[in-house]
Amino acid sequence: MKEEALQRAKTLDSSDPLAAFRTQFHFPQRDGKDCIYLCGNSLGLQPKTTQEFIDSELRQWREHGVEGHFTGEKPWVSYHKNSKASLAKIVGAGEHEVVAMNNLTTNLHLAMASFYQPKGKRSKILIERGAFPSDFYAVHSRIELSGGNPETDLIELEAADGSDYLSTNEIVAKIESLGDKLALVMFPGVQYYTGQFFDIKSIAEAAHKVGAYAGFDLAHAVGNVSLNLHNDDADFAVWCTYKYLNSGPGGVGGLFIHEKHGKNKSTPRLSGWWGHDSEARFKMNNQINPIPTVDGWQLSNVNILSHASHLASLQLFDEAGIENLREKSLKLTDLMEELILNSEALKNQIKIITPSNQHERGAQLSLYLMNHGKSVFQYLIDHGVILDWREPNVIRVAPVPLYNSFQDVVNFVSILEEAIRNEG
């Protein structure tokens, strides 16, 4: 079976129009060979051009000092503008609606300062049960700082049948039931643990119908799935760039603010000088005049070296195209799912908790191991597979279309079978 699957994978790789992008990344090594790297949902690989992009800004600093803010091909004072066109395509937005800045959780706090303004009985925030801890901490603290009580104002939605899957109907029904008590719906684009891709448009529409705002954490969605934030009418979204966007550990974050809010200068916000009229910024006259775009949420000047790393990866996304990447991603996860479900060694030992519906998942399959989960994971690591473990018994596997091959998928499943057999 492995030889048949491997031959099939070789055929798919030979006809893959994105195959050449694999050569543009550095792979970790084991015993002189490239690892099977399936952990782009945690930290993406380094593009080979990253050093060149960073070195360019180090040279700018070395040769021009402070004047680098206003000289050269990419003056630092406007450096954040260099990523806008690429990000707009990736998240489905206008350039005036996206900006790279800060990190994800900082941006989430800034967005909630604008879009969580509890008044009277409209004080509740809806999230999913088992939300990523940082999101939970952020909304919990925001409620407390607003004078509310997280015990009653933070609503965690779980599936009625106790499963890991939350249907759109359940989410919409919960929003409708909360009605005029609901201030904000804060959901992920893709759930970090299960890999479920949520219906952003339906969630935002339901929230707006009851008078609430809708915000989204796109940490596991950006650069992974096709997004259309503007037309889906999300009020805001935040993301990191070190996962599928390959921008380096702790890399710069991103923020989307829908133009209907960005153009409204009276939208409340926490302010910093970089978010105000750029023409008057250096006059130091302390006249508050926010930029009428998402840029009005900026606090400070750009972390240039982090942003330079970001631009190196975005260049590859421009060349590949997010729709093309999504198409290959679906083929990669389809193949992995098929091989696991048809394997005599695996099908009774592993439960795939990621939805089987293509439209409800991204480049990740979450594998729940019935037995010996941690030792199976360690076997995979010891045999040159890099992936991600999540308690209590889940291995998250992410074949990334920019640099993973179909042969990677087949070889991973083969080693996974060995690991299961090794446990008896």
pLDDT confidence of 283, banded at 50, 70, 90? confident
Tell me what pLDDT residue 284 has.
83
Q: Can you tell me whether residue 197 is helix, strand or coil?
A: strand
pLDDT confidence of 26, banded at 50, 70, 90? very high
CA distance 137 to 145: 12
Q: With contact defined as beta carbons under 8 Å apart, do 96 and 294 qualify?
A: yes
Q: Is the pLDDT of residue 234 over 80?
A: yes
Question: Could you report the per-residue pLDDT of 84-119, keeping only the tens digit for each?
Answer: 999 999 999 999 999 999 999 999 999 999 999 999
Average of per-residue pLDDT across 367-382: 92
Tell me what pLDDT residue 338 has.
96
Average of per-residue pLDDT across 11-40: 97
Question: Could you report the per-residue pLDDT of 237-266, keeping only the tens digit for each?
Answer: 999 999 999 999 999 999 999 999 999 999
Domains of the chain, first to last = 2-34+322-422 (3.90.1150.10), 53-318 (3.40.640.10)
| Average pLDDT of the chain to the nearest whole number | 96
Tell me what pLDDT residue 282 has.
82
Share of the chain above pLDDT 70, in %: 100
Share of the chain above pLDDT 90, in %: 92
CA distance 107 to 362: 23
Task: Please name the residues in contact with 57: beta carbons below 8 A apart, sequence gap of 6 or more.
Answer: 68, 74, 304, 305, 308
Average of per-residue pLDDT across 153-162: 95
Tell me what pLDDT residue 290 has.
92
Average of per-residue pLDDT across 204-213: 98
Q: Can you tell me whether residue 416 is helix, strand or coil?
A: helix
Tell me what pLDDT residue 423 has.
83
Predicted TM-score (pTM) of this structure: 0.96
pLDDT confidence of 1, banded at 50, 70, 90? low
Quickly count: other Cβ atoms within 10 Å of residue 52's Cβ. 11
pLDDT confidence of 288, banded at 50, 70, 90? confident
CA distance 190 to 291: 31
pLDDT confidence of 153, banded at 50, 70, 90? very high
Tell me what pLDDT residue 371 has.
85
Q: Is the pLDDT of residue 74 over 90?
A: yes
Question: What is the largest distance, in Å, between two alpha-carbon atoms of the chain?
Answer: 73
Q: How many helices (H) and strands (E) does the chain have?
A: 14, 17
Quickly count: other Cβ atoms within 10 Å of residue 18's Cβ. 19
Pick the more confident residue, 363 or 277: 363
Average of per-residue pLDDT across 362-377: 93
Q: Is the pLDDT of residue 306 over 90?
A: yes
Query: What is the pairing mode between strands 254-257 and 98-100?
Result: antiparallel
Tell me what pLDDT residue 309 has.
98
- At position 249, the amino acid (one-letter code) is P
